[in-house]
A and B are shown apart, each in its own frame.
Chain A
């Protein structure tokens, strides 16, 4: 479905200077520095795949996504999506794709979402019958039915994001590009969006490419992850492999009945922080159950949570070790 060969993009960025005379000189004779945002990417994605795109800020994720959607023109290499070159922006290609960006919105702020949806229906030439049916389907999948007639500015962030999904998916695209779609949502809204995406993916055999900073987005949705670092691909494979290799640890947060010292805690795991009766420990995944049960029986535990290390940390480890093969 998607074939990417040697895809690269460089930008010429003006070199910033400080000081008045230097600024004046800069104004007349601008010096540029070449920045390679994406360097010779090669990968292919099959129909129906759910792929996570990971990388630190500025790694080249969004640039790659924008070249795949045809928004920006590659400096080199090629992208082939179902026989189309994205930048040509052929109608048949655009009918088939969508882009959802967590921090940008296409809905009209002052009007009910329904008005924006009607405009999209006209753009994609969706018949009245299909429109009603799809609105019904999407609204029930997203549990948003009664909110479509109130102005977008009055919706909560979670509701707004769901409405954005409706606008983005009304034309039943078979290829979805999602750039941080759960950004800023609370836990409930995040998991609702995740459930919806999984549902849409299976129901329509849609291909989904997702970037996210939330580990849970990636772990619950993506079978395969591509990791980009400094514009190059450093990992392409199943997620469990990545976690095994680079994050064999879990974070355990405990709150105890009384203050403890570091010594007592360090027999359970590596103590990352200790603040009176609250502590954060790093524990190996294979010892997790044992450690947690020991903690619960030996200490007066008021509260205990186990979390994955943040995705940045895992990626950080990947980068430290360099390429994985």
Chain B
């Protein structure tokens, strides 16, 4: 109850604060349209002269791109908006205020801000998935079945990002680290099987990009397999537990910015 009320307040205050800078939103919309056009062009190059790429036809690959765009929207609106700020909280010492409130600090740091910047990506991603899905003749149940692996992918991404943010307790300046993660995630715009075997292993086991876009897309296309789905669940559950204990571990080393 308390946390629901807080979520509502966080959302409304963030939107209010963002409204002060309206031009940003226009720029964000333009940049996501541009980004998507670039991705579409890149993807179309691979399909020139090929009908099938790594077992994916054009429309199926579009679904993956759709999930990727959606994920980028979530990153911009929820993850980046909050987790990139952890560094600032540590640097400025305002983390003190968060830690002194009778509220879960991980919850506060992860939900406090919401950015309108991700909305264009969220809309475009949904649109592409819908478009490709219609051409492939998918039904409502297919979409519903993809929600769960998508959620698992989001939890995985969030946990990785949060842990990287938590390392700022020691290193203070870790903007670069989250940038590396973002760049690696770019790989998620293409179906995982489109990559050579070595990269496939890397993107599945080292940075689990495969679980964020390819697995939800496969489930949506009705090709989901139990081991992959199970893997997605186990990964999401494990990483979120690790992220939580890692945060509490990191706090023991918090020295707070001196005044």
Q: Are A and B subunits of one complex?
A: yes
Return the chain B residue nearest A180 by Cβ: B259
A119 in contact with B10 (CB, 8 Å): yes
* One of B88-96, B160-168, B231-239 at the interface: B88-96
Q: Is B135 close to A, CB under 8 A?
A: no
Does residue B102 face the partner (Cβ distance < 8 Å to A)? yes
Contact with A along B97-127 (1 / 0, CB 8 A): 1011111000000000000000000000000
Cα-based distance from A173 to B232 in the complex (angstroms) = 45
Give B1-13 as 1s and 0s: 1 = Cβ < 8 Å from A's Cβ atoms.
0100110011001
Selected contact of A62 from candidates B6, B13, B259, CB within 8 Å = B259
- Closest Cβ of chain B to A212, distance in Å, is 12
Interface string of A149-178 (1 = CB under 8 A from B): 000000000000000000000000000000
Q: A72 CA to B93 CA in the complex, in Å?
A: 12
**B254 contacts partner chain A, Cβ-Cβ < 8 Å:** yes
Q: Indicate whether A99 sits within 8 Å of B103 (C-beta atoms), given known contacts A72-B256, A122-B9.
A: no
Given A106-B94, A123-B103, CB of A73 within 8 Å of CB of B13: no
Contact call B94/A104, Cβ cutoff below 8 A:
yes
Partner of B102, one of A102, A108, A119, A123: A123
Kindly identify which residue among B2, B102, B255, B258 contacts A94, using a CB–CB cutoff of 8 Å. B102
Say yes or no for A69: interface residue by CB 8 A criterion. Answer: yes
**Range, interface on chain B:** 20 to 34
Say if the beta carbon of B50 comes within 8 Å of chain A: no
Given contacts A99-B100, A101-B96, A122-B5, contact A71 B256 (CB under 8 A): yes
Residues on A with beta carbons closer than 8 Å to the beta carbon of B20: 110
B96 engages A99 (CB within 8 Å)? yes
Question: Roughly how many angstroms separate A195 CA and B258 CA in the complex, as a whole number?
Answer: 28
The reply to whether B258 and A73 form a contact with Cβ atoms under 8 Å apart is: no
Q: Let me know if A94 and B13 touch, CB within 8 A.
A: no
Which 7 residue pairs are nearest across A and B when measured between Cβ atoms?
Answer: A94-B102, A106-B97, A110-B17, A91-B102, A122-B5, A123-B103, A122-B6
Binding site for A on B (CB under 8 A): 2, 5-6, 9-10, 13, 16-17, 20, 92-94, 96-97, 99-103, 252, 254-256, 258-259
18 A-B residue pairs with Cβ-Cβ distance under 8 Å, sorted by A, are A72-B255, A73-B252, A94-B102, A98-B100, A99-B96, A99-B100, A101-B96, A104-B96, A106-B97, A110-B16, A111-B16, A111-B17, A115-B16, A119-B6, A122-B2, A123-B2, A123-B6, A180-B259
